[in-house]
Structures are given as structure tokens and as C-alpha cells.
Structure 1
Amino acid sequence: MKNTKIKSLVHFFKSNETKLSFLFILLFSSIITILLIWINTSHEILGSSYRDVYFYLIKSLRFSGYSIGGYEYVNYLSPLIPFLTSFLFKLGFVNETSIFIVTGIFYILGVLGVFSLLKLRFRNIMAIFGTIIYTGLSINLIWVANGTLDIPSVSLTILAIYLFVIGVEKNQKYFYLAFPVAMLGFFAKYTAGLAIPLMFLYILSKPDIKNTIPKYWKNVIGSLGAGSITSIPFMAYFYINKIPLGFLNQAKDIASKTTIVSEVNNNLFYYFTNIPRFIYNPNHILSYIIIFIVVLGLIIGIYILLMIFRMKNMNVSQYISKNRDMDKIHSNYFLIMNKKISNKLVYFLIIVSIFVMFISFLTASTISFVYSELIFFVLAFIFSYLLNKLIKTLPNNKFFRFDLLMFSWFFSYLIFFSAHLVKVDRYFITMAPTFVFFVTLALNTLLNLKPLNYKKNSQNKNKSPDLSQNNYQKFNSDILENKDILNENQSLNQNQAKNNWRKVWKINIKPNIKNLIPLLLIVIFLISSFGYLTLDKHDSLAHDERETVNWIKNHDPNYNSKVIWAERGPIFTWYFKKEIIYVNWEHSPQNLSEMMKGNNTTYFIALSPEENIPGYSSVKKIGKVTIYQRNTS
């Protein structure tokens, strides 16, 4: 009886593993998000490190109906998150927690999107592994639910890419969700616009372009229209308020200054050298474990690919004459645009395309990022086109195009932010989903190493497995999916394999070990994720500034009618819900005094060391903040 119940329970878990895993991921990410919202609210984190959040809060106030002058550049900011936050403001929740909640929800959606993406490529346990790694990355946890735009933008990009992939592979109706979601990601943060060329690269990397375009073009055009409709409210807002398109100004600014700003030329490898901090900080032991997995997996992956080409050249060519279709592929030439191109030239062009793709990264510091991105995407397309010709069965396997998509995703954002005027840690968030994909792929490769053999016996060189068209396709795809070709290809019997083939890799990990290793890493990152939440994020400056506002309100009930200047003007504009004029302390006390008197300024809030400002007296000092009031006499 007990055995029956256990079997039924095991059957239930196996038959519902995807749903249960999805619920587990949802529960875990929700708990992390709720805790972070509470921590970020109670610890007063919005000090010196989160100045941008106050700009988004000011924009949210304007969306909700507050009339706040000045700070015109706030209008150029990405509007989605402030727009959504304004709804909570209209309901009466006018505080920082509102924007924490909005951005936190997007984190949950992004985590679920990562799981869904990884499920397209890996078995369930590996998808969970990758998702937990993504959830627990330090670079994510430090920026979750704190009002910044990076997590929401990346989350929407993840969902858009996922919807587009299943639109190509399963049902084109998903296009009508993919492009609107991509558009929302764009208005969450303009850099999400790179998702669009990634989508087109994925669809153009299909093997037969002539048939691909007629098959998809109607729904692609229609879904682009749906995406355009999604943008109408935001474009109307820009038009009605006579606001220039901020994303165009931003792109133009970066493109024009890439070659003249010295900081861009420095630390080109910034996002590589700081990967240990992005994975887990301050303790880097977990980071080094993950990096070791990636490096070892990369080495083994390259080795396997080299063996595939070696096996193809040594064995498959002997059977070309038996199949005309194979003759088109594996003879001494390829048919490209109805022209015969020699094998060697195609191999050479593939190597060149790979080389130039990497070179495009190096150009990010010397030419406009627009040209660097263009070079990269063109070469990525050429690479996929040539590889489709090289191995006919490969493009029929969605993993090739999916892997190319993930690589292009990572590299396109790496190029963009390496050319950016300012390099900061949080920009790596845009690369985090694909970085996690590489980690998962590397571990999956290591765990699925099987006997990979090639022909050794010259006496038996005329004996071989049946490589008919169908069996040859299975032969290639099994290698690429890390399957055991000796066991699964029914045309090969074990004795024949032993006589004709030589083992070049002798690792065969038992299934329980395959599950145990990712499970162990999952548990470690689950614990480390919660452990990271115990780090003190409190910023005393945020507390000092809040107390400064309370003091002025109590000291002067008519503060709303007074002119106030501040070194951190945007922060106090949010707290006072009125324009606080921003000023840099770059002037002498005398000049500063004259400017403030000319503007009829009553209060000046400073962070700089206390100075003697003519006509103003220091009336209160709260921590790092000093309040100056104009003398009445």
C-alpha cells in the first residue's frame, strides 16, 4: 500500500514537474522580492547611490497630476515605470514603496521568463538551476525593487524574446504579444530596443530564407503594427507636451561622443574583469566556481565541435555518392545562391565571420557604437547563413539558432555598454540572462559528456554505419544534443562500433550524478540568495535628508511659498513635492550668496563642509546635511 502511494506520488511529480517547478520559481522569486521591498523601504537605501530613482519619482508625480517646475530633462526619461507608479500615487500611496513594488513585480516576471526560456533548451532540473543562479546574482539582488529601470527593462526583454521564439517555433500568434512586450521594454528603458534586431536575427537564421520570409512576413508585419499601437500613448504624451524623443537624443549623444571621450577607451573589458563581483559579492568563492564551470564547459564545447567536423570530414564523405542531397552538402563545394563555392572558402569565411564578430567588440571604443552593432549583426547573419550550408541538418535543430540568439544577445549589449559614456556595474544586468544561459549550457555540456568516437582502423575504412539521409541527420543532431550516438542510432551495433571507431572521450556520468550536481548548486544559491539579504543596505544620508525635510516643515509651516536651493535638488524636490533648485557648490561663498539673494532664496541645503555664506546663517546640522537660512536683518 505504501509503495503504491509512493509510486503515485512520484508519478504525480514527474507528470507535473514543469508546473510544479514554475510554482516553485514563482514562490521563491516572490519571497525574495517581498523581502527586498521591505528591506529597501525600512533601511532607507535611497542615498548617494540611487540618485536616478528620485528623477523617476518626480516624473511619477507629474504623471499623477502634481505641478512641479524645473528639471525639464526628467521628461526625457523612459516613461513606463513612472507611468505605472503614478497609478499608485493617484490611489494615495505617494511614497518610495510604490516604485519599489512596481519594479519588484517586474523582477518576478523576469525570473519566470528566464525559466521559460531555459526550458526551451534544457531539461527541467537544468532550467531550475539556471533560473536560481539568475535570481541569486548579486548584480540583480542589489538592484531589485529599488526603483531603478534596469530590472523591469530586462524582464520585458526576456519575455519578448521568449514569446518571439515560441512564435517562430510553435505558433505565429505569439508574435502579436512579443512585439508589444518588446515595445513596453523599450519604454521601460530605451536600451531594450536591441531586442528588435535580435528577433530578426533569430528568424533570418533559419536555413531556407526564401521560404522563411513568405512564411512569416505577414504576421511579423502585423505584430509590428501591434507594437506600434502599444507605443501610441507614450508617443502622444511626448507630442502633447512637446517633449523631444529622449531615446534619439541619448543614442545620438553616445554615438557622437564614443570616439572622443577618453573614459570610454579605458576599461574596455570592464564587464569581464568584474564578473566575480556580478555573480556573488563580497565572497567570491561561488563566483569562481561558476567561472570554472563556464571556462571548462567552453573548452569541452569547442573540443566537441572540432571532433564533429573531424568526424564529418573523415567518415561522412565516403558515403556521398549514395545520396544526392548529401552530395550538395558534403562534396568539394557548396551551392550558395546557385553558385558553387569551394568547401575551403566556406570554412575560411566562417572563421573570418567569427573573428570579425569579436573584433566588433574591440571597435566599440574607437568608432560609433552604431557601426559596431551593425558590423556584429551583419556578421552574425553571415555566420548563420554559411553554417546552414555547411551542415544541412544543423539548422533543423532549434538549438543552433537558439544558442546563436543567446550569444548575440550577450554580445550586442556588451558592445553597447562597453561604448557607453559611463560604465557601471548595473549595466551588466542586461547581460545577466544570457550569462546565466552560458553557465547552464556549460554545466549541461559537462554533465552530458558521452563516448564520442571516430574511425581509427584503416583496415575497416570501407566498413561503416548506415549514413542514409535520415540516419545522417540523426547522427549530427545527436552529437549536438550530447546524445549517445552509439546507443541511440539503431543502424550502429555495438560490435561494429568497437571495431570501426576509437574513443576520444571517456566520461559517462550516471543519471543520479547528473541531477545531484545541479541540485547541490541550486541549494547553495538558494541559501546564498537569502544570505545576501542580510547585508546592511542602510544609507545614513537618506535618513539625514528625510530628517532635514521634516525639520524645515516643522520650523517653517509656510515652506511651500519659500524658495529653496539644494546641492541635491532632485532628492528634496521629491520630498517637498515642489521644485527645489539644484545648485553645485562650485562658486565662492560670496558669489553663491549673491545668486541666492538675487533669486530670493530663503533656505539652502548643503552637503559640503560648513562655510560662512554672507547673508545666510547655518541654522541646523543633521548628520551630513547643513541647513542655511537667509538672515532677516
Structure 2
Amino acid sequence: MDRAQDNGSFFDKLSGLLHQPLTILILITGVLVAYLLKVQIKIGVPYWDVFNYLNNALHFANMGSNGVVNHLPPMIPVVTSLVFRMGYVSVDVIFIISGLIFILGVIGLYLLLKERFNPTKSLAGSLIFISLPVVMAWAVSGGIDLPGVVFSIWALYFLVIGLKKDSKFLFLVLPLLVVSLLTRYTAGLIVIPMIFYILANLNQVKEILHIKKVILGILIELGVLLAIFTYFILQLDTSALFGLFFDVVTSSSSGVEDVAYNSNFLYFLQNSLNYISLGPVQGTYRQLLNPSEGIPSILAYIIGIISVIGISSYIYRVLSTEKEDDISRANLANLGKIIVILVLFTGLVLSFYNKSLILSEILLLVLVYLLYRFMARGKFEMDSKLALDLMFISWFGAYFIFHGILPFKVDRYFITMAPAFTYFIILGLSQFIGELKPRIKGLNSKSGWVYLMVALICLSSATATYIGHTPQKTFTVDISNASEWIKGYDPSYSSKVIGSDYPNAVTWYLHQDTTGAYLKNYNNTVEFANYLHENGVYYYFDSNKSHPNLKGYRIIKTFGVVAIYEKTTP
């Protein structure tokens, strides 16, 4: 009898646990990540930079210095190298690490959203975030875009609860900020929403600063973290990083011949529907990684329209909260505020189109801060929500400005804006449903199910699209097979010069430096063949589908789209 009661109690607890939104979110995310990992491991590395991180990881693990790229952020390679040191050296390691970090990020986003919305809306928002094509496609790719965002999410979350609830959480903000910077350098832009949120909560900041232990602790922590950050930076070749930053700040167009060159300032805004949902189900893997090359689904239009209507309604509600008496007594003051905001906004637009990055970011920060000061009502709950809304506006705006001005644009850069983008989708949806509640009988009691239904439709659509777009493998698997084959074909391959148009991949698989050789950089195949000869290339790995005839070389083996050339003339 007691045993039966214990079993009943266990199942009751389990049932209660499953009703917790965070538990449901972790289960869904865990299952999805497991599936994504299965697919990613099967199809291989999706893009160039992942092999650079893998080669750098070998370097940090003291397993070789072939193909090291010193200017890349070190965090993901360092973490990957720890697993390599344990004896498991595989591309799968970086996929698994990405997946674990992604799960951590989804949890962090849920907790951050819950500071503004109820648990059900926060769950829906987190599922919508997962469903964004550009997020799902890159979730376990081994790239640094999502990990950089993940640590930024947690840094912001601890800042928010540190100022609102317990100042002890503020000790975690600086370490996470440094970690996010070392994961992806541009994650440093998260200081824009951080500075805004601190300014919007100056009263709490003043109270906290009266606690001497907090001040002393943060100062010590800051000194240690600056030392660690400086150490890492000194180990890196930051010339390329500073060169890119200089190009953006000075409006240089030195990368005009780069395939990713794009001067469209509104590129990410114009493709925003593609980032919500792609259609149809069948398509290419390239469209999955680069949603701008696909077409938005009907679901994207529906979500987009509802969000715009909801946010418009929300803005109207916020602006019309003043009592008529207050408005009539303060017409002149309100007019002055409107003029200031319009002048700042005009200055922001002009500086943005004039590629003045630093000025644009400063104007953005001033604009959102003054908006908060002008719109704050002195009511804690209302002002707290407003501060979070404007914090997310500054988050989206900071990265939108940077990547808009940046002369290189690829869709994965939108990942830096994805959490803020999701925030406004759920805000718009929440306001839209809120407006319908008085008009539709029973909606108030069932609105939670509406949010979950929308989120699950988005997740189902994204998963179906992912399945429809995902190939059996990518060409990097062919490079892996080709590399394994050459080891058996020529055991002394390591004594010969090897070239490739995907050198970092061949370097990883063969564990030796590979000469970069790109046919597109030459006028014809004769010039290209001469380059190979001049550099003593004995084997050449070509990853193009159309393999040209190269004078003095013959194709000895093909693997899918990859062909191996061998030198035939002295």
C-alpha cells in the first residue's frame, strides 16, 4: 500500500514537473539539439571558419601548429582543445560543444524574457527563437556567432536581476562580458544595452554603490579580468581585427571584391521575413544557411503582420497613458521633447548612412535613454517594463547599425540580433492577443494555449523546412574521404607540398600545412597551373564540381565533388 502511494506520489511529481515551462523548454531543446547533432555529424562541417577553429584547437592542445589563424577569437578553440587533450580528436567535438552552449543560451533567453513576460509567453518566445531558420541552421555548426550571443544573453540577464533583485549577481556580469568578447569580438557591442539599462536604473545603482564590498569586489574582479583579456589579446594577431574595425569606422570599401561584400544598409531589415520562417519545405542547404536566398513562408507574413500591428498598438498605448489634464498643462514641454527626439533620430539616420559607426552608436544610446526619461511615469512595474523594451531596442539597434555599415554581410550575422528580434515578436503577439481578449469570449482563459500553439507551429514549420533542406552530406565530407585516401595511396604524402582551394580543411584532416590555391584568382587554367608548379605543389585537392584540365597534373581520384590532382611533370 505504501509502495503504491509512493509510486503515485512519484508520478504526481513528474506530472507537476512537466507542467513547468522551463522543464518543457529544456526537454524540447534537448531533443532538438540531439537531432541537429545527428544531422550535423552526418553532413560534416558546414563552412570555412569551423576548420580554422579546429586547427587552432589543436594548437591550444599542443598537438600541432598547422593552419593556425592567430587573430580569431580563442574561446571556442580553447574549450574544444580541452576535449582534444582527453584523447578525443574529432570534428564532432566542436558540434557537441556548440549544442551544449546553445541549450544554455535558450535557458538564458527564457529567464531574461521572464523578467518582462509571464512563463507561458517566455516559453513561446524561446521556442520562436529556436525556430528562426538562421538560428536552427547554425545551432550546432561549430561557429562562434551563437555562442557569442549566448554569453551576451547571460551577461544581460545577470545585470538585470543584479539591479532589480540581488546585487550579488552583478559579480557575474563582467566575467560573462569578457567570455562573450573572447568568443566573438563584436559581442562587445552588448555594452550599449548594458549602459542604457544601468542609466535607466541609476537609483538602484546608487544604492548598490553604497555597499563597499560590492565596489571593492567589482574593482578586483575588473583588474583580474583585464589582465586575462590582455593576455589573450597579446597572444593573438589582432591586425586583421583592427583592420576590419578601421575599414568600418573610416568607411573604407577595400573589400569590394569579396563575395560577401554588400553595401545595402537595410539588408537585414529587408530580409527580416526570411529570418522568421522559410518556405517551401523543399530547398537547398545553402538557403537554410543563408535564408535571404530563399523565400519567406506564409507563416512569416502572418507572424510579421501580427507583430507589427501589436507593436504599433503597444506604442500607441504607451504614448497615450498621460492624463488629458497633464497633456494640456505640458503642451510646450511635450513639444520640446518631440523636437529633441526627432532631431536625435534624424542625426542617427544621417550618421548611419554616412557610415559613422561610433557616432551612430552614441546617438542610439542617447536616443533610447532620453526616450526612457521622457516616457517614464515613476511607477516601478511600468518603468521596469519600459526599460526592458528600450534595452532590447538598443540591443537590436547596436548590431543593426554595425552590420548595416559593415561592408560584408552574411545572414548568420543576423544571429546577433535574433534574441531582440524574438523579443519584439512576442511583445507584438502579446499586445495583439491582449487587444482581442475583450472582443473574443473565452480567449482570456485560453490565451496561454494560443501562445504555445503559435510557437509550436513555428517550431514544426522550421523543423520540417530543416529536414527538407538538409542534404545527406556536404562537400567537406568528400574532403575528409579524399584526405584519408591519400594517406593510403602515398604513405610519404607528408613530405610533399599539398595545395587546395579549401586549405584549412585539408590541413585539419592531414595535420600538415596546405597551400591555398584558388582558380578564380587567375585568368585561365594555364596561369593557375603555373602557380601550382612555382610553389612545388605535388597534390592538389579541388572542391569545385567542374574539375578543369591542369597542365602538368592529372586527376587520380574523385570523391563526390572533390578531385585529387597529382603532378605528372618535374
Above 0.5 in TM-score? yes
What is the aligned partner in structure 1 of residue 422 from structure 2? Answer: 436
Distance 2:204 2:172 in 1: 24
Residue aligning to 1:537: 471
Change over 3 Å in CA distance of 1:387–1:289 after alignment to 2: same
Residue 554 of structure 2 aligns to a residue whose secondary structure is strand
**How big is the shift at 1:118?**
1.2
1:253-264 paired onto structure 2 within 5 Å = 253-257=247-251
After TM superposition, give the deviation of residue 394 of structure 1 in Å: 6.4
Name the residue aligned to 2:449. Answer: 516
One-letter amino acid of the counterpart of residue 308, structure 2: V
Residue in structure 2 matched with residue 575 of structure 1 by the alignment:
509
Which piece of structure 1 moves more, 225-234 or 213-222? Answer: 213-222
User: Does 2:400 match 1:408?
Assistant: no
Q: Using the alignment, how far apart are the partners of 1:222 and 1:247 within structure 2?
A: 32
1:465-511 CA-to-partner distances (Å, cap 9, x unmatched) read xxxxxxxxxxxxxxxxxxxxxxxxxxxxxxxxxxxxxxxx9778642
2:554 paired residue among 617, 621, 624: 617
Shift of 1:177: 0.7
Residue of structure 2 equivalent to 1:305: 318
Q: 5+ unaligned residues in a row in structure 1: which ranges?
A: 1-7, 318-329, 333-342, 452-504
In the alignment, does 2:64 pair up with 1:63? no
The residue type paired with residue 307 of structure 1 is S
Aligned to 1:293: 306
Distance 2:352 2:161 in 1: 32
TM-score by length of 1: 0.77
CA contact (8 A) 1:103 1:152 kept: yes
- For 2:11 and 2:541, locate their aligned partners in 1 and report how far apart those are by CA, in whole Å: 65
Contact 2:164–2:204 at 8 Å: present in 1 too? no
What CA distance in whole angstroms lies between the structure 1 residues aligned with 2:206 and 2:186? 32
Q: How much does 1:117 deviate?
A: 0.9
CA contact (8 A) 1:593 1:613 kept: yes
- Give distance in 2, aligned partners of 1:403 and 1:14: 35
Q: Percent of pairs identical after alignment? A: 28
Partners of 2:205 and 2:87 lie apart in 1 by: 56
Specify whether residues 563 and 259 from structure 1 end up closer, same or farther in structure 2 by C-alpha distance, changes over 3 A only: closer
Contact 2:277–2:462 (CA<8 Å) still a contact in 1? Answer: no
- Which letter maps to 1:602? Y
Change (3 A) 1:27 1:610: closer
Q: Point out which structure has higher relative CO (alpha carbons under 8 A, 6+ apart).
A: 2
Query: Amino acid of the residue matched to residue 354 of structure 2?
Result: T
> Following the alignment from structure 1 to structure 2, what is the Cα–Cα distance between the partners of residues 364 and 145?
33
Distance in 2 between the 1:22 and 1:605 partners? 48
Q: How far does residue 406 in structure 1 lie from its aligned partner after superposition? A: 1.1
Over aligned residue pairs, what C-alpha RMSD do you find?
Answer: 3.2
Shift of 1:186: 1.1
The residue that corresponds to 1:37 in the other structure is: 37
* 1:258/1:366 contact within 8 Å kept: no
Higher mean alpha-carbon deviation, 363-372 vs 263-272, is at 263-272
Aligned residue number for residue 144 of structure 1: 139
Deviates more, 1:605-614 or 1:22-31: 605-614
Q: CA deviation at 1:450?
A: 8.7
Look up the match of 1:550.
484
Contact kept in structure 2, 1:265 and 1:365, CA below 8 Å: no
Q: Quick check: 1:258–1:369 contact (8 Å CA) kept in 2?
A: no
Distance in 2, matches of 1:595 and 1:161, equals 51
SS of match in other structure, 2:556: strand
- Aligned partners of 2:413, 2:41: CA distance in 1, in Å? 23
CA contact (8 A) 1:259 1:366 kept: no
Residues 567 and 605 in structure 1, CA contact (< 8 A), matched pair in contact too:
yes
| Most deviating of 533-542 and 56-65 | 533-542
Q: How does 1:198-597 map to 2 (within 5 A)?
A: 198-206=193-201, 211=206, 214-215=209-210, 219=214, 222-223=217-218, 225-226=220-221, 229-230=224-225, 232-233=227-228, 235-239=230-234, 241=235, 243-244=237-238, 247-257=241-251, 266-283=263-280, 284-309=297-322, 312-314=323-325, 332=330, 344-350=332-338, 352-353=340-341, 356-357=344-345, 360-361=348-349, 363-388=351-376, 391-393=377-379, 397-449=383-435, 510-535=443-468, 536-585=470-519, 586-587=521-522, 588-597=524-533
Largest Rg, 1 or 2: 1
How far did residue 416 of structure 1 move?
1.0
Structure 1 residues 252, 223: closer, same or farther in 2, change over 3 A? Answer: farther
Please state whether the residue corresponding to 1:135 is helix, strand or coil.
Answer: helix
Q: Which secondary structure does the structure 2 equivalent of 1:367 belong to?
A: coil
SS in structure 2 opposite 1:605?
strand
The CA deviation at 1:526 is 4.0
Check conservation: 1:258, 1:368, Cα contact below 8 A: no
Q: 1:139: Cα distance to partner?
A: 1.3
- The offset of 1:253, in angstroms, is 3.2
Task: Give the secondary structure class of the aligned counterpart of 1:293.
Answer: helix
Q: Which amino acid aligns with 2:50?
A: V
TM superposition shift of 1:183: 1.2
> How far, CA to CA, are the matches of 2:276 and 2:344 in structure 1?
29
Partner of 1:600: 536
Q: Deviations over 1:156-208 (max 9, x none)?
A: 11111011000000111111112211211111101110122321210101365
Cα contact 2:180–2:187 (8 A) shared by 1: yes
Contact 2:553 2:569 in 1 (8 A): no
Cα pair 2:17 2:23 within 8 Å, conserved:
no
Cα pair distance change 1:209/1:166, threshold 3 Å: closer
The alignment partner of 1:449 has SS state of: helix
Residue identity in the other structure for 1:31: V
Alpha-carbon contact 1:450-1:508 (below 8 Å) kept = no
Q: Distance in 1 between matches of 2:181 and 2:378?
A: 36
Give the letter for the 2:59 counterpart.
R
SS at match of 1:145: coil
Whole-Å Cα distance in 1 between the matches of residues 102 and 381 of structure 2? 33
Kindly report which structure 2 residues correspond to 1:68-87, keeping only aligned pairs within 5 A, or say none: 68-69=65-66, 74-87=69-82
What is the distance in 2 between the residues matched to 1:14 and 1:596? Answer: 66
Cα distance per residue 1:245-294 (max 9 Å; x no partner): 76444322322335777797743221122122211212412212211221
Q: How far, CA to CA, are the matches of 1:209 and 1:173 in structure 2?
A: 13
Name the SS of the counterpart of 2:278 in structure 1. coil
Q: CA deviation at 1:143?
A: 0.4
Which stretch shows the higher mean deviation, 427-436 or 590-599? 590-599
Note the alpha carbon deviations across 1:511-563, whole angstroms, 9 max, x for none.
22322321321332343344344232344422322222122111101111211
Look up the equivalent residue of 2:378 and give its one-letter code: K
TM-score, structure 2 normalization: 0.85
Cα distance in 2 for residues equivalent to 1:179 and 1:354: 34
Structure 2 Cα separation of the partners of residues 443 and 242 of structure 1: 45
User: Shift in Å at residue 110 of structure 1?
Assistant: 0.8
CA distance in 1, matches of 2:238, 2:455: 47
Q: Contact 1:129 / 1:519 at 8 angstroms: preserved in 2?
A: yes
**Partner secondary structure for residue 355 of structure 2:** coil
Query: Please, which moves more after superposition, 351-360 or 275-284?
Result: 351-360
Using the alignment, how far apart are the partners of 1:207 and 1:313 within structure 2? 29
- The 1:307–1:198 alpha-carbon spacing in structure 2 relative to 1, beyond 3 Å, is closer
- Distance in 1, matches of 2:467 and 2:67, equals 39
Superposed CA offset, 1:27-70 (max 9, x none):
111111111111100123x35xx111111111111111132345
